């Protein structure tokens, strides 16, 4: 099973069903006065502005559009003129809110589409005190531990076999991938541009090249389009004119990160944090410190971000950083607190499931992942995680098979869904063989390769089933298709060698065994290098000195 699930994630990228975007903090509806608005159906575009209590536009404010299931559908910063636009929004009911520093707007209920006006005005204000019925989550309730240092991978924590350890390491990396990038994140390509707006902003800059607003607005326009190279010099010009403008400094850091200048990005974040403890700035500092190879600084940044603002993104960033660096039970505590505070967060439950699996709490891990899949059955991530732990766990995990059955049923052309469901069926056959169930699994594998002929793992399992029937001719054909689909699938070479040997072709068998040994060694060396690149956290508690995690 080594390395296969990185490729399984690639299969899911072709699924047309939209996966959940990153979940983010949203204040309870009882915390603010609410207004109800509707959005015009033309293009299902939501547009509006964020202003302060005096009606002045607020640039750089975070605006979030949240679906009825609690998932963030869109999030963005306001432009230099305080405006925001969310386009291509699907029909449905949404909540819209904005925040900047310690100020937050009211929560606006939206219905898309509707014949009403499509201009929304969000006013930032100081949040009222929480009522006794909805107490604020205090940081004093958070996990009680301190990260004191780092050590190398030889102190790695975890339980079970090396295969289970590799699975938990894969899950840790995949959990980290669920973390939202702060602000205007780097993208694979440029976003949608309004050419007329671009021309107007360029004309304004040409008329006033020394204007802070003219430089910032055009730089902000390119930043939100994903064109970091064009945004960078403009935001730098604005920064030289007014180096203490927090919104511009933050955007300049994001542009530096977008072009790959991580150290300069970190320097600008440091400027921002020197003026105030900004939670978004702290989380961005954590992202940059991790990328720059300083995980100890990163985990302290994330912890401080939660102290300043115990939001869902901040909890998730902290927990995923702990899990990546093998502070397993500490990650469990942070994810558990986050899941208690944000019970509708799919990714928080998913991250907790990954952390519980890393600590060999297989049943609890399965329960969390199954619960995550129920929160939004269309989100493929919990299914992918539960499929991995079902394969790696020593015994079948009862709740997983019916959830994977739902995954395969609701996405009948998803090759990965069929593969994972079939593997769950075979898992139950290890204790109580049932020919009918094995036939069902084989049919699912066949459907998987019909949907995606490059699904190497499904071809491999078809070869195993043919071998079990002693149909070595068919097994050889399946194993060869698996190798053609993935030349690095080492187990397929070994099984192909066995099939050749039993078919009376020892020379071919020896060749396949040799290839298997070469690939296995290469992959083991790669795992070793990867582990050495991930330092493990040391932690301390008030009641005892620093110690290695999970020992």
146 membership: H or E segment, kind and range: strand 146-151
Q: Is 313 in contact with 180 (CB distance < 8 Å)?
A: yes
What's the whole-number average pLDDT of the chain? Answer: 81
Q: CB 490: neighbour CB atoms within 10 A?
A: 22
163/144 Cα distance (integer angstroms): 31
Backbone φ, ψ for residue 333 (5° rounding):
-65, -45
Q: Per the structure block, which two tokens stand in for 331?
A: 């990650």
Backbone φ, ψ for residue 165 (5° rounding):
-65, -45
**In DSSP terms, which residues pair with 103 in a beta bridge?**
100
For residue 410, what are the contacts with CB-CB under 8 A and spacing of at least 6?
377, 378
Which letter does DSSP use for residue 125 in this model?
Answer: B
Q: Which CATH number fits domain 29-135: 1.10.150.120, 2.60.40.10, 2.30.110.10, 3.10.20.740?
A: 2.60.40.10
Which letter does DSSP use for residue 140 in this model?
Answer: G
How many residues are there in the chain? 551
pLDDT at 147: 55
Q: What is the pLDDT of residues 471-491, one digit of tens each?
A: 999 999 999 999 999 999 999
pTM higher than the cut 0.75: no
Q: CB 222: neighbour CB atoms within 10 A?
A: 25
205/419 Cα distance (integer angstroms): 56
Which letter does DSSP use for residue 54 in this model?
Answer: T
298/288 Cα distance (integer angstroms): 8
> Between the CA of residue 307 and those of 149, 162, 283, 310, 528, what are the distances in Å?
20, 36, 11, 6, 36
For residue 333, what are the contacts with CB-CB under 8 A and spacing of at least 6?
143, 145
HEC letters along 226-247: CCHHHHHHHHHHHHHHCCCCHH
154/1 Cα distance (integer angstroms): 23
Say if residue 456 is exposed, middle or buried (CB neighbours under 10 Å; 0-12, 13-18, 19+): buried
300 membership: H or E segment, kind and range: helix 295-308
pLDDT at 113: 75
Q: Per the structure block, which two tokens stand in for 246?
A: 């927090």
158-189 b/e (C-beta count within 10 Å ≥ 16 → b): bebeeebbbbbbbbbebbbebbbebbbeeeee
Best CA proximity match to 387, nearest among 419, 414, 360: 419
Query: How many CA atoms lie within 13 Å of 385's alpha carbon, on the beta-carbon side?
Result: 37
Q: What is the pLDDT of residues 216-252, one digit of tens each?
A: 999 999 998 889 999 999 999 999 999 999 999 999 9
Per-residue pLDDT of the chain (551 residues; tens, 9 = 90+): 334 444 454 444 433 333 333 333 333 333 333 444 444 444 578 888 999 888 888 887 778 777 655 555 677 778 888 888 888 788 888 778 887 755 778 878 878 776 544 678 889 886 544 333 333 333 334 455 555 555 554 444 444 456 778 888 888 889 888 887 665 443 434 445 678 889 999 999 999 999 999 999 999 999 988 899 999 999 999 999 999 999 999 999 999 999 999 999 999 999 999 998 899 999 999 999 999 988 888 999 999 999 999 999 999 999 999 999 888 889 999 999 999 999 999 999 999 999 999 998 999 999 999 999 999 999 999 999 999 999 999 899 999 999 999 999 999 999 999 999 999 999 988 777 788 888 999 999 999 999 999 999 999 999 999 999 999 999 999 999 999 999 999 999 999 999 999 999 999 999 999 999 999 999 888 888 877 777 776 655 444 444 444 43
**In DSSP terms, which residues pair with 63 in a beta bridge?**
76, 98
Sign (positive or negative) of CA dihedral 167, 172, 176, 178: positive
Q: Is 100 in contact with 79 (CB distance < 8 Å)?
A: no
pLDDT at 53: 83
392/173 Cα distance (integer angstroms): 16
Q: What is the pLDDT of residues 328-381, one digit of tens each?
A: 889 999 999 999 999 999 999 999 999 999 998 999 999 999 999 999 999 999
Best CA proximity match to 185, nearest among 96, 302, 287: 287
Q: Is 313 in contact with 22 (CB distance < 8 Å)?
A: yes
Q: What is the pLDDT of residues 286-303, one digit of tens each?
A: 999 999 988 888 999 999
Q: CB 394: neighbour CB atoms within 10 A?
A: 11
Which letter does DSSP use for residue 130 in this model?
Answer: P
Best CA proximity match to 234, nearest among 249, 214, 258: 214
Best CA proximity match to 175, nearest among 17, 389, 367: 389
């Amino acid at each position: 099973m080594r390395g296969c699930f990185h490729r399984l994630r690639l299969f899911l990228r072709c699924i047309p069903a939209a996966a959940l975007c990153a979940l983010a903090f949203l204040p309870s509806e009882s915390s603010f006065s609410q207004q109800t608005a509707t959005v015009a159906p033309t293009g299902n575009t939501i547009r509006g502005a964020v202003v302060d209590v005096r009606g002045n536009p607020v640039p750089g404010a975070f605006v979030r559009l949240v679906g009825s299931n609690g998932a963030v559908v869109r999030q963005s910063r306001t432009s230099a003129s305080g405006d925001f636009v969310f386009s291509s929004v699907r029909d449905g009911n949404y909540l819209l809110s904005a925040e900047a520093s310690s100020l937050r707007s009211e929560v606006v209920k939206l219905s898309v589409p509707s014949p009403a006006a499509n201009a929304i005005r969000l006013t930032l204000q100081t949040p009222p005190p929480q009522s006794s019925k909805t107490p604020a989550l205090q940081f004093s309730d958070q996990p009680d531990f301190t990260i004191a240092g780092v050590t190398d991978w030889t102190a790695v924590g975890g339980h079970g076999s090396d295969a289970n350890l590799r699975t938990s390491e894969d899950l840790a990396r995949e959990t980290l991938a669920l973390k939202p990038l702060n602000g205007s994140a780097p993208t694979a390509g440029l976003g949608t541009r309004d050419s007329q707006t671009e021309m107007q902003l360029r004309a304004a800059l040409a008329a006033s090249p020394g204007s802070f607003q003219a430089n910032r607005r055009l730089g902000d326009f390119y930043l939100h389009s994903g064109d970091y190279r064009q945004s960078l010099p403009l935001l730098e010009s604005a920064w030289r004119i007014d180096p203490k403008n927090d919104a511009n400094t933050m955007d300049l850091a994001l542009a530096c990160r977008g072009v790959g200048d991580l150290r300069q990005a970190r320097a600008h974040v440091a400027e921002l944090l020197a003026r105030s403890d900004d939670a978004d700035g702290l989380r961005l500092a954590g992202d940059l410190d991790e990328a720059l190879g300083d995980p100890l600084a990163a985990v302290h940044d994330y912890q401080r971000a939660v102290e300043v603002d115990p939001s869902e993104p901040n909890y998730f960033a902290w927990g995923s950083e702990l899990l990546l660096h093998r502070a397993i039970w500490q990650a469990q505590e942070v994810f558990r607190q986050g899941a208690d505070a944000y019970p509708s967060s799919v990714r928080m439950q998913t991250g907790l499931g990954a952390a519980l699996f890393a600590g060999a709490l297989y049943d609890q891990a399965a329960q969390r992942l199954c619960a995550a899949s129920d929160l939004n059955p269309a989100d493929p991530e919990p299914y992918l995680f539960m499929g991995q732990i079902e394969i790696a766990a020593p015994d079948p995990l009862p709740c997983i098979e019916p959830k994977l059955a739902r995954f395969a049923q609701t996405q009948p052309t998803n090759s990965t869904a069929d593969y994972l469901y079939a593997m769950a069926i075979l898992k139950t056959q290890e204790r109580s063989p049932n020919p009918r169930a094995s036939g069902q699994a084989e049919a699912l594998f066949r459907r998987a390769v019909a949907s995606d002929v490059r699904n190497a793992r499904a071809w491999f399992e078809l070869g195993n089933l043919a071998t079990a029937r002693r149909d070595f001719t068919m097994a050889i054909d399946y194993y060869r298709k698996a190798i053609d689909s993935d030349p690095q699938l080492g187990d397929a070479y070994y099984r192909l060698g066995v099939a050749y040997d039993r078919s009376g072709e020892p020379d071919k068998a020896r060749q396949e065994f040799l290839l298997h040994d070469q690939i296995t060694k290469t992959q083991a060396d790669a795992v070793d290098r990867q582990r050495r690149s991930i330092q493990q956290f040391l932690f301390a508690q008030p009641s005892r000195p620093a110690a290695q995690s999970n020992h």
